[in-house]
Structure 1
């Protein structure tokens, strides 16, 4: 088996008496979607925060492309190739769709810009931003303020911004949240094609999307991984059905 691009080794994080993640280990391999599922409060978003650099684990290590990044910050991890979308939108609502995407290009380039107007006039930067918007189907709303977009369009914009970083790995925290059936189907199709560009660690509550997309699934309950395996393995796991899935997801 090839070495994992992302290797989470025995990660733990406590907040007072609450152990949010408890000796969590999982890997992400090239070309795959590894879904992380579990009930609310299981520790999924806390784990993603530790992987992205927003939280430093109390114990354990996080290796990215063979490099120990356990104590590095979010900016350093993003520059190294971690592209993240958020459970709660981090977009600039008063700026346009194109301006938000341009900021992603600027962040990826590490260039220093003194004035926003200079950025928007740079043809190369605009071209990269426009290409990312085209990929997610948002070219026709490039000049709209983000605050005027639908919820589904904002989720797609977050993906576009992540694409501008040209990541080696995508971290996606509930990209289907708030989407209707049509929006979820569109996002599922897009993510299915994206895995060949960079593998995805996917946190998601939409089980139809999870079982349609995931090559492997890890189940987190009370901060612990209780099972990891293929979708078929997870469907047939009695402990997982008892703790989270319910009988409607039995094989």
Structure 2
């Protein structure tokens, strides 16, 4: 078996007397969707911030692509291919679909743009952006204002922006949030295909989506991983059902 693309070991973070994560071990393998679930306040958002570099841990390490990235900034981890999408959209709503993706491609290059019109004439950036839009199926709405997209299309656009990083892994924070049943089904199909390009660490409350997509599931409760396993293993785990799924196994 090949080494995991992402390997988290012993991540611990406290805020005053509150322990948000305690000695968390987690990994992400090529081609998989590894779902992270848990009740509100379990520490999921803190853990994602620790993995992405937005927070520094009190203890533990993050290895990505075989390298220890624990001391790297969020931007440096992103340039190494750690792509993150957010629960609350970080897109520039007043810009067009294409402009948002071009900005993503610009960030990968590490440039600081000053003249936006010049950036939008950069053929190399446009080529990268157009390729990403084709991959997510948004090429026909490239000229639309982002605020005019449906919620599901905005999620796809966030992935297009992330694709400009040539990602080795995705960290996705509740991508189903705000979607109706039809939008959730469409996004599930999209993510199911996306895993073949780069594995996905999926933080999600929609358990139907989790059970449909996940190869493995880790359950975080009060900052600790209480179980990791397949869908069937997690469904049948009495501790998980009592702590999170809301029922005691028969």
TM bucket normalised to smaller: over 0.9
Distance 1:217 1:205 in 2: 12
Q: Which residue of 1 aligns with 2:45?
A: 45
Q: What secondary structure sits across from 1:19 in the alignment?
A: strand
Give 1:73 deviation, angstroms.
0.6
Is residue 141 of structure 1 aligned with residue 141 of structure 2? yes
- Structure 2 unaligned runs (5+)? none
**How far apart, CA to CA, are the structure 1 residues paired with 2:112 and 2:236?**
52
CA-CA distance at 1:108 after TM superposition: 1.8
Partner of 2:31: 31
Structure 1 gaps, min length 5: none
Quote the offset at 1:139 in angstroms: 2.2
1:134 deviates by: 2.4
Residue 111 of structure 1, CA deviation: 4.4
Distance 2:20 2:226 in 1: 14
Aligned partner of 1:167 in structure 2 is 167
Offset, 1:112: 5.2
Separation in 2 of the partners of 1:135 and 1:30? 19
Deviations 1:94-130 (A, max 9, x none): 2111111101111123345442111111223212212
Deviation at 1:177, TM superposition (A): 0.7
Q: 1:73-112 alignment to 2 at 5 Å?
A: 73-111=73-111
Aligned to 2:224: 224
3-state SS, counterpart of residue 185 of structure 2: helix
Cα drift, residue 156 of structure 1: 1.4
Q: What is the Cα-based RMSD across aligned positions, in Å?
A: 1.6
Whole-angstrom distance in 1 between the partners of 2:186 and 2:120: 29
d(CA) in 2 for partners of 1:87, 1:15: 22
Query: Using the alignment, how far apart are the partners of 2:73 and 2:217 within structure 1?
Result: 27
Residue 203 of structure 1 corresponds to which residue in structure 2?
A: 203
The SS at the match of 2:227 is strand
Partner Cα separation in structure 2 for residue 197 and residue 156 of structure 1: 15
- For 1:89 and 1:242, the matched residues in 2 are separated by 33
Query: Distance between the aligned counterparts of 2:91 and 2:113, measured in 1?
Result: 19
Are residue 190 (structure 1) and residue 205 (structure 2) matched? no
Secondary structure at the aligned position of 2:120 is classed as helix
- SS of residue matched to 2:42: coil
2: CA distance between counterparts of 1:2 and 1:130?
32
Aligned mates of 1:150, 1:79 — CA distance in 2: 29
SS in 1 for 2:84: strand
Q: Under a length normalisation based on structure 2, what TM-score does the superposition of the two structures give?
A: 0.95
Aligned residues: 250
1:127 is matched with which residue? 127
Deviations for 1:47-86, whole angstroms, at most 9, x for unmatched residues? 1111111000111101111111112111100001101101
